[in-house]
Structure 1
Amino acid sequence: MQNKIFAALTLTKCLQRTTSTIVISTRTAVNLSYKVLGANTADPEKTPIMLIHGLFGNKRIWHSMGKVMKNTMKRLVITVDLRNHGVSPHTKSHTYEKMVGDIQRLYKKLSINEAYLVGYCMGGMTAMVMALLAPEQVAGLIVVEVSPASTSPIFESHYYEVMKAMKAVEFKSPKNVRKARKQAKEQLQNLIKDDHVMTAILSNIKIKKDNTIGWTCNLDVLLKHFKYMTVFPASLKGKKYRGPTLFIGGQISDFIPPDDLTKIRMYFPQAIVHYVAKTGHFIHVDDPKSFMELVMKFVKQSSSSQLNGMDSLCYAVKKILKFRLKPLTSHMVKRGAVNLAYKVHGKQPSDGIPVIILHGLLGSKRNWESMSKKIASELNKSVVAVDIRNHGESPHVGSHTYPELAEDVVQLLRTLSVSKADLIGHSMGGRTGMVVALTEPTKVSHLVVVDISPVSTAGILNDFFPKLIDIMKSSDIESQPNITAAKNIAKEKIYASGLVPPNAPIHFILMNIGTRPDKKIGWNCNLDVLKQHFENIATFPSEMAGKSFDGPTLFVGGEESNYIPREDLPGIKNFFPKADLKYVPKAGHNVHAEDPNTFFKLVQEFLTRR
């Protein structure tokens, strides 16, 4: 009886999910201008991909990207002009619900049941709304540089001023489109400093249907509806799209703040966020290779993964009901890993077994620059120095636990197409390396742990770093005119606190001062989150109890440091049976910096030992 009740309840839930699609009225829908790529070469069994542009965009901007996708993935790729853009109809309305209705009409015209949606900015908002209102029509969702949880101040204020300036442009009888664009550029260049924005805007100048040259986007309607465009529709609160979802953000852009992830998952429970290093709002232009690789990997993995548990039963029910549901990607929902910023020294990581270097608390990959180069040169190995999450150029997120840091490293190995690596980790980075070795032992060839123990925590760690973080937060560096002045202020504040002796080396701390993504001077490490999660940083995770790594392991301590007490060795060997423990004479906690030659010799001997 219980099985029958369970089956009935399951069927009810599946029916609720299959009938959750809300078909927008097509009475007010328009026929979008579109381009189909790969009509003669695409595999008819494969789900197509639809590319949806952003504000001021059009289908031509995504044409080159679409061609690469159709050639490499053998899928139909459809690019569109949204209403009030390109050569699609101009209407009096511009809401996300109506744009979804336009796309549904195009689905019907092309006999499409579902597609992978790739939406950029305004197009990303449209794609999200469609996924929430018509989930059965979305095989997978890729949202680029926009969030349902917040609005970028740049988008909210600057873009409105840009549209007003566009409307004020005077076209003085240009003879051709090129001259019209030149005239517009001259009138807009004082306001628009970003070359990518300027290029996108000028692409809207064409010969119109009345044979005049001017803007092809409907500026009057876009201005009228601009406030609506900047905010995710409140009517969608409580709705969810449970399919595979990838958000792609630019690392130096503020359009998808890391803190938004919790709210993003209220709408899209399976969402992961990937930040592309050193890119801004125009990711697909700044780094088209990385962007393309992310899209292709996502589509491939979400197409090939298998459903399990409740979703398998629902899938079977839907097959009976002649509905289609794309499977969820297993590794996409595993953890909230971030994509770490890194620098490669020497040969490529895929050439042999690379060395991954993981810095300590308040450090960065720059702290290990000299040692990374030396290891790469002397040992002829690829060395990859990383910024751990909430440090340096890596994403700032709201959480900081060792299992999460370890998964970030594992994701980096995937990104580098590396199956196994040597790990060298200092302090916090050493504990991260230990957790990687204990949870993913097949991915670690050699493990070097520098001045940190899995058994005990030095009292100075609990006392020193929380106070230091408070001092750093209280330093008035944001108001300084340049980075040098900011470093001087921070140095004075730290020395005046008495926390460190006068003239003690604090260079590694001051290296955290730089220009942030918002273009302001500040700390590049996420001080608030590091302070909030300090207890997690200061203790080795209890869930590692009972695990062991049987590979070669070297612990290197400073003789004058108390971070690895000699009496910890038996406990260390419970985790790492093959561990050796070496101390560097006259060195403190920063062993690699205080005696780099001795440290290198120990690492060299360990990594080359047979």
Structure 2
Amino acid sequence: MKLNYKKSGSGPPLIILHGLFGSLDNWFSIAKELVEHYTLYLIDQRNHGDSPHADEWNYAVMAEDLKELLDAEGLDKVFLMGHSLGGKTVMNFAVKYPERVEKLIVADIAPRYYPVHHESILEGLNSLDLKKIQSRKEADDQLSKYIPELGVRQFLLKSLTRDSDGFAWKINLPVITKNIENVGEALAKDSTFDGPTLFLAGANSNYIQQKDLPDLAAHFPNYELEFVADAGHWLHAEQPHSVVEEMRKFLG
């Protein structure tokens, strides 16, 4: 699949993949601080942003999407970063194509299985009748019945766009809803990437825990773990400067 992406800057290639329900736009503020030293590729994963929609949606095909993009751009070896869903994608890519990854950064996700925990978000998104919604404010008001956190609603509504019939989701909501179990899938047993790997965790997030450390070491023996203070799961939005600082320190 030919993914949508935005390229900027100059220097060694650095690829960044967003998380579930997100898009490449989520990483603009990070990219702005790195363009002087890296060629940035911000990517929309399949069924997100402006990339194509498809019925098949799992980490195996998302890793192949990434390989197709690297091949098309003539990129033999890259710095690779992913957040949450994107973190699982880059982990799957790194263990399958280790020769293509110079260094790996995984933001706030571990290789283990995660049970489904997006039920209220999916229920809220699916409850909206987009043919009847007259404004983004109306969409937000309806979503608030399912999702009380304003910041989460604002993040989700970035994927709401206008079309000829009114409003539409950029995300492939039916396929994501049907295949949400795939998001929590664990990395394949005995798969490893020996290259330098940085796990960035939000200090206020519970996505990476003490119990995950043996798992990190088993799959990524050359790993480091850094906690970003005063940040939850969306650490790049909450503490962008700290995230950039950790990235620079690790990438060199």
Tell me the TM-score range normalised by the shorter chain.
over 0.9
The one of 212, 218, 229 equivalent to 1:574 is 218
Q: For 2:166 and 2:175, locate their aligned partners in 1 and report how far apart those are by CA, in whole Å.
A: 19
Q: For 1:564 and 1:396, locate their aligned partners in 2 and report how far apart those are by CA, in whole Å.
A: 30
Note the C-alpha offset of 1:520. 4.5
In structure 1, the residue corresponding to 2:19 is in which secondary structure? coil
Equivalent in the alignment of 1:398? 55
Structure 1, unmatched stretches of 5+, are 1-337
Q: For 1:421 and 1:523, locate their aligned partners in 2 and report how far apart those are by CA, in whole Å.
A: 31
Q: For 2:26 and 2:151, locate their aligned partners in 1 and report how far apart those are by CA, in whole Å.
A: 17
The one of 148, 157, 167 equivalent to 1:500 is 148
Q: Which amino acid aligns with 1:510?
A: L
The one of 331, 354, 371 equivalent to 2:13 is 354
Note the C-alpha offset of 1:510. 0.8
Q: Which amino acid aligns with 1:533?
A: N
Equivalent in the alignment of 2:129? 476
In structure 2, the residue corresponding to 1:506 is in which secondary structure? helix
Note the C-alpha offset of 1:390. 0.3
The one of 533, 557, 564 equivalent to 2:179 is 533
1:510 has 2:157 as partner: yes
1:450 has 2:107 as partner: yes
**Deviation per CA, 1:479-534, whole angstroms, max 9, x where unpaired?**
345xxx1x21221122122x333x34432211101135x66521110011011111
CA contact (8 A) 2:130 2:166 kept: no
CA contact (8 A) 2:113 2:184 kept: no
Q: Which amino acid aligns with 1:478?
A: K
Equivalent in the alignment of 1:591? 235
Equivalent in the alignment of 1:10? none
CA contact (8 A) 1:475 1:489 kept: no
In structure 2, the residue corresponding to 1:376 is in which secondary structure? coil
Q: For 1:500 and 1:577, locate their aligned partners in 2 and report how far apart those are by CA, in whole Å.
A: 40
CA contact (8 A) 2:144 2:153 kept: no
CA contact (8 A) 2:29 2:240 kept: no
Equivalent in the alignment of 1:467? 120
1:435 has 2:82 as partner: no
Q: For 1:478 and 1:365, locate their aligned partners in 2 and report how far apart those are by CA, in whole Å.
A: 26
Note the C-alpha offset of 1:585. 1.4
More strand by share: 2
Q: For 2:244 and 2:98, locate their aligned partners in 1 and report how far apart those are by CA, in whole Å.
A: 24
Q: For 2:70 and 2:119, locate their aligned partners in 1 and report how far apart those are by CA, in whole Å.
A: 31
CA contact (8 A) 1:419 1:443 kept: yes
Q: Which amino acid aligns with 1:466?
A: E
Note the C-alpha offset of 1:435. 0.4
In structure 2, the residue corresponding to 1:551 is in which secondary structure? coil
Q: For 1:522 and 1:389, locate their aligned partners in 2 and report how far apart those are by CA, in whole Å.
A: 16
What RMSD over aligned residues (CA atoms) do the two structures have, in Å?
A: 1.6
**Deviation per CA, 1:167-226, whole angstroms, max 9, x where unpaired?**
xxxxxxxxxxxxxxxxxxxxxxxxxxxxxxxxxxxxxxxxxxxxxxxxxxxxxxxxxxxx
1:383 has 2:29 as partner: no
Q: Which amino acid aligns with 2:83?
A: H
The one of 31, 39, 43 equivalent to 1:372 is 31
Note the C-alpha offset of 1:545. 1.4
CA contact (8 A) 2:18 2:83 kept: yes
Note the C-alpha offset of 1:566. 1.7
In structure 2, the residue corresponding to 1:496 is in which secondary structure? coil
Q: Which amino acid aligns with 1:587?
A: A
More helix by share: 1
Deviating above 6 A after TM superposition, structure 1's stretches of 4 or more consecutive aligned residues are none
CA contact (8 A) 1:472 1:490 kept: no
Q: Which amino acid aligns with 2:248?
A: Q
Q: Which amino acid aligns with 1:514?
A: T
Equivalent in the alignment of 1:15? none
1:559 has 2:179 as partner: no
Q: For 2:5 and 2:105, locate their aligned partners in 1 and report how far apart those are by CA, in whole Å.
A: 19
Q: Give the aligned length.
A: 252
Q: For 1:550 and 1:519, locate their aligned partners in 2 and report how far apart those are by CA, in whole Å.
A: 50
**Deviation per CA, 1:523-573, whole angstroms, max 9, x where unpaired?**
1100110111111111224xx211211111000011111101122111111
Q: Which amino acid aligns with 1:489?
A: E
Report the CA distance shift for 1:423/1:478 in structure 2 as closer, same or farther (over 3 A): farther
Structure 2, unmatched stretches of 5+, are none
In structure 2, the residue corresponding to 1:399 is in which secondary structure? coil
**Deviation per CA, 1:28-73, whole angstroms, max 9, x where unpaired?**
xxxxxxxxxxxxxxxxxxxxxxxxxxxxxxxxxxxxxxxxxxxxxx
Q: For 1:406 and 1:505, locate their aligned partners in 2 and report how far apart those are by CA, in whole Å.
A: 27
Q: How does 1:84-95 map to 2 (within 5 A)?
A: none
Q: Which amino acid aligns with 1:479?
A: K
State the identity as a percent: 35
Q: For 1:478 and 1:443, locate their aligned partners in 2 and report how far apart those are by CA, in whole Å.
A: 45
CA contact (8 A) 2:80 2:105 kept: yes
- Greater C-alpha radius of gyration: 1
Q: For 2:152 and 2:213, locate their aligned partners in 1 and report how far apart those are by CA, in whole Å.
A: 30
Q: Which amino acid aligns with 1:547?
A: S
1:345 has 2:8 as partner: yes
Q: Which amino acid aligns with 1:522?
A: A
CA contact (8 A) 2:5 2:42 kept: yes
Equivalent in the alignment of 1:521? 167
Report the CA distance shift for 1:513/1:399 in structure 2 as closer, same or farther (over 3 A): same
Q: For 2:216 and 2:9, locate their aligned partners in 1 and report how far apart those are by CA, in whole Å.
A: 32
